[in-house]
Amino acid sequence: MGLKSFFNKLAQSPDSLNSYSCGISDLGQKRKLNEDSYLIDEKLGLFIVADGMGGHRAGEVASNLAVKNIFSHIKTWLNEQNDSDLDVKNNPKFINSETIRQVIQDAIEGANKKIHSNNLAQGISEGQGMGTTVTGFWISSIDENNKEIHTFNVGDSRCYSFYQAELTQLSTDHSHYQLWLDTGMEGEAPRHNIIYKAIGPWSKAVADQYSYTIHTNELFLLCSDGLHDMLSEQEIQDILQKNSQATLKQTTQALISAANKAGGKDNVTIILVKPN
């Protein structure tokens, strides 16, 4: 079984009535190869979407390597904890936010080193070669009744919260277009898909991270740009609201179908998670 098949099997494994997440990756209408990868591990509370880039097959390799290395680093770190005050074998309880953020950044750096070293070994210069965006989050327990979400992203794959019928972007796009918006929109607008941060092309990769307490009935959405380039935030919000009584699988498929109907110019990968 190939690396992508292994991780997609892992990602798709939650199928019980107690499952609180769903993930789907779709080729789209224009691409011949799916360069996205994703991971769902409900036991760890870890969810990742990666959108690879770099030409034929290279993007697929980069996104798979990123997902594999981030997952492996976090899993290994949890297994290495021997302090009796930390119940991390089965649930990352009582780990403070600062520690979690450091573990996530270390995982990002490890993934970046792996892909960047691969580029250098092929004689590819800094800023070139295969790479991938990454977005995801890790859920931890604050106490018996409350949970905290720790989001992370590098690039322009996104993390959203959908709460009380309102969609809110939690991640920050590391794109020149977003910089143009943030700095006053002077001059001609850059293309939306030109990013200045990714895992692999550069020797350093620092993730944006954000942590906060999860609300009851809050829904979280991770996606590659194949979704948000095809649909506006208002359209995504409307679909989530329309499907508020549907299953997570039905809602995920509705988003995929809408992106494809709008043109499906890229691979589309979506994870929906409803922790409470």
In the chain, where the domains are located: 3-273
What per-residue confidence (pLDDT) applies to 4?
A: 54
From the CB of residue 16, how many other CB atoms can be counted at a distance below 10 Å? 8
What's the pLDDT tens digit per position in 32-67? 999 999 999 999 999 999 999 976 569 999 999 999
Percent share of the chain, pLDDT over 70: 88
pTM of whole model > 0.75? yes
Using CA atoms, how far residue 75 sits from 81, 91, 245, in Å, is 10, 11, 34
Reported confidence tier of residue 89, pLDDT bands at 50, 70, 90: very low
DSSP-H helix ranges across the chain: 3-11, 58-80, 97-121, 176-182, 225-228, 233-242, 248-261
What per-residue confidence (pLDDT) applies to 220?
A: 98
- The whole-angstrom separation of Cα 209 and Cα 95 is 16
Using the predicted structure, report yes or no on whether residue 163 has a pLDDT greater than 70: yes
Superfamily of domain 3-273 in CATH is: PPM-type phosphatase domain (3.60.40.10)
Beta bridge partners of 134: 50, 154
